[in-house]
Amino acid sequence: MRVNNFAMGEQIERTSLYADTTPRHSLPDISQAVANEHQHLTQTHEYKAGWSFFLVLAGVVTTLGSSLPVGYNIGVVNTPAEVIKTFCNESFVSRYNLPLNDTWLNVLWSFIVSIFIVGGCTGSVLGSVLADKFGRKYATIATSALSIAGAVFFLYCRAANSVEMLIIGRLLVGLAGGLTTSIVPMYLTELSPLSLTGAMGVACPMGVNVGVLVGQVMGLNFLLGGVDDWPYLLSVFAILVIICLPVLFILPESPKYLFIVKRNEITSIKELSRLRGVSSSILTEDLELLREERRAADVAASSGESKWSMARVAADPRLRLILLLVCSTQAGQQTSGINAVFYYSQTIFIQAGLSKQSAQYATIGCGFINVCTAALMLHLLPRRGRRPLLLGSTLCATICLAALAAAMTAIEMVSWMPYVCMVAVLLYVLFYGFGLGPIPYFIASEMFEVGPRPAGMAWGSLANWGGNFLVGLCFPTMRRAIGPYSFLVFSAITGALFMFVRKYFPETRGSTPAQVTEACSQGFRSRPTRNPNMNGV
C-alpha cells in the first residue's frame, strides 16, 4: 500500500515537472501568430506583380516628358524648312555681309538637320556611362535638362539673329534624344515585373511616334505653321518636359540598378516595395530574381573586369550574337526606309489626286496609324510575344516596299497606279508599327543582363541613330540616281534582316536575360529558337 502511494506521488511529481507551464491567457496569442503566419504565406503564394501606381506614373511621365520630345524634334523641321533657310540667309547677310546661294544654303540646312543625328549618336554612347554613374532615374532627369536648354536656344535664336544658336539647340536636343533612346527603355523595363517588360518597353517608341505626329500637326498653318511662328514651333515641346520634370524626382530608382550595380540591398528593397505598392516581406519572387541576376553578374565579373564598357561587350564572345541581333534590328528599323517613305508620302498623295493640304493631312494620317499600332502593341506583346510580331512585321514591310517600288515606276503609265502607291504606303506604315517600329527600342533590355545592359543599350541606340544618318546621307543621292528603285534597296535590306531574325532571334517573353544569354552564348552556332528553355516560336 505504501509502495503504491509512493508510485502515485512520483507520477504526480513527474506530471507536474513536464506539464505545460504557459499561462492560459497566452494561448490565443499563439493561435493569432499562427494565423498571421498562415495569412502571410498565403499572400506570398498568391501575390503576382502587376501594374502599380508608380509603374504607370513612370511610363506616362517618361513617355510624355522624354520620348515624345525625341519624335517631335525628328518630325517638326520639315514644315518650316524654307522659312528657316530664309532666316539663315538674312542672318549671314546682316552679320557677315555674306549672301548664300542655293547650293551653300542647302549645305547649311543639311548641316542643321544632320547635327541632330550627330548629337543622337553621341548621346547613345554617353548613355551607358551616365546610366551607371548617376543611375537610370537621374540620367533621365539630366536628359530633360538638355531638352529644355535646347528649347531655350530655339526660342531666342531669331531674336539674337544667331544661326549658331539654332545649331547648338539642334545639337542639344539630339544629345537628349540619343540619351533617351539609350536610357529610358532600360529604366522602364528594369522597373517592370517580368510579365510587363514588353508593355513598358513599347512606351518609349510610342512616345517617339506620338512626338512625330504632334510635330506634323503643330506645323499646320492654323497652329504654329505661320511664317513668324517657327521659333515657337521648334521650342513648344519644352512645356511638356517642364511639366514632367518635377515628377521624375519622385519616381523610384531602378531596384535592379541599386541591387546589382550599386550593391545597395536595403535601398533597393525599399524602392522595390514602393514601386510594387506592397510590403517587402511578400516580394520573395522579385528578390529571388534580383539575387539570380546578381549571381550571374558576379560570375561574369570574375574574369577580372568589373566594368562593362562598350568595348568589353563587343569583345565578349558570349554576347556577340545578342549584340548583333540588337544592332541589326535597331539599324534595320531605320534602313527599312521609314523616313524615306514619309518623305515621299506627300508627293504620292498629291499624285493620287489629293490637294496639297489634303496630302499634308494624309501624311499626318500615316503618323496617326503609327501611333495607333504602337498603342495596340501594349495589348499584343504580352499575348503574342516578340518573335512572331517582329518576323511578321519585317516580312510584310519587305513585300510592301517592293510593291511600292514597282507601283511608283509605273505611276504615270496607269491611271489607277497612284492609288496602289497610296495603299502600299499605308500598309507599310501599318505593318512597320506592328513589330519593326517598337520592338528594337527595348529588346536589348530583355536580352542583356544588368551588368552589360547599359553598354548593350548604347550599342543599339548608336546603331539606330547611325542607320538614320546613313539613310539621310544616301537617300537623296539614291533618289536622284535610281528614283523609285531606291525602295527596292530598302526592301532587300529589310528582307535580309528577316532572314537573320528568323534564324537567330529568340522569343524573350517570359524568359530572363540570363536564359537568353545562355541560349545565345555559342554565337552563330547557337540555335536559340530551338532551345527548350526559351519560348521559341
Q: Which pLDDT value is given to residue 113?
A: 85
pLDDT over 80 (residue 435):
yes
> Helices 386-409 and 417-431 sit at what angle, rounded to 10 degrees?
160
**Rounded Cα distance, 241 and 143, in Å:** 10
3-state helix, strand, coil in the chain (%, to 5): 80, 0, 20
**Rounded Cα distance, 123 and 382, in Å:** 30
**Rounded Cα distance, 287 and 41, in Å:** 16
Segment 110-135 shows an average pLDDT of 90
pLDDT over 70 (residue 530):
no
Higher pLDDT, 37 or 332: 332
**pLDDT band per the 50, 70, 90 thresholds, residue 533:** low
- Find the distance separating the first CA and the last CA of the chain, reported in whole Å: 88
C-alpha cell, 421: 502607291
pLDDT over 50 (residue 26):
no
pLDDT over 50 (residue 409):
yes
pLDDT over 80 (residue 37):
no
Higher pLDDT, 65 or 339: 65
Segment 200-222 shows an average pLDDT of 87
**Lowest mean per-residue pLDDT among 54-63, 302-311, 440-449:** 302-311
Highest mean predicted confidence (pLDDT) among 11-25, 169-183, 280-294: 169-183
> Helices 338-351 and 417-431 sit at what angle, rounded to 10 degrees?
150
**pLDDT band per the 50, 70, 90 thresholds, residue 11:** very low
C-alpha cell, 54: 508608380
Higher pLDDT, 342 or 74: 74
Segment 184-203 shows an average pLDDT of 87
Segment 348-375 shows an average pLDDT of 81
CA proximity to 458, closest of 473, 472, 439, 445: 445
**Rounded Cα distance, 255 and 264, in Å:** 9
pLDDT over 90 (residue 475):
no
CA proximity to 111, closest of 178, 171, 176: 171
How many other CB atoms sit within 10 Å of the CB of residue 194? 16
Residue 148 CA neighbour count, 13 Å, CB half = 14
Burial of 7 (0-12, 13-18, 19+ CB in 10 A): exposed
pLDDT over 60 (residue 41):
no
pLDDT over 60 (residue 18):
no
Segment 195-215 shows an average pLDDT of 87
**pLDDT band per the 50, 70, 90 thresholds, residue 22:** very low
Higher pLDDT, 358 or 329: 329
CA proximity to 120, closest of 186, 171, 67: 171
Q: Which residue has the cell 499575348?
A: 383
> Helices 453-482 and 163-191 sit at what angle, rounded to 10 degrees?
130
Q: Is the pTM of this model over 0.75?
A: yes
Residue 112 and residue 170 in contact, taking contact as beta carbons nearer than 8 Å: yes
- Average pLDDT of the chain, as a whole number: 84
Highest mean predicted confidence (pLDDT) among 25-29, 101-105, 177-181, 507-511: 177-181
Higher pLDDT, 422 or 306: 422
pLDDT over 70 (residue 537):
no
**Rounded Cα distance, 515 and 518, in Å:** 5
Give CA separation, 272 vs 55, 286, 297, 388, in Å. Answer: 11, 9, 20, 32
pLDDT over 50 (residue 354):
yes
Which amino acid, 346? Q
Highest mean predicted confidence (pLDDT) among 105-119, 166-180, 183-197: 166-180
How many other CB atoms sit within 10 Å of the CB of residue 507? 21
pLDDT over 70 (residue 16):
no
Higher pLDDT, 140 or 420: 140
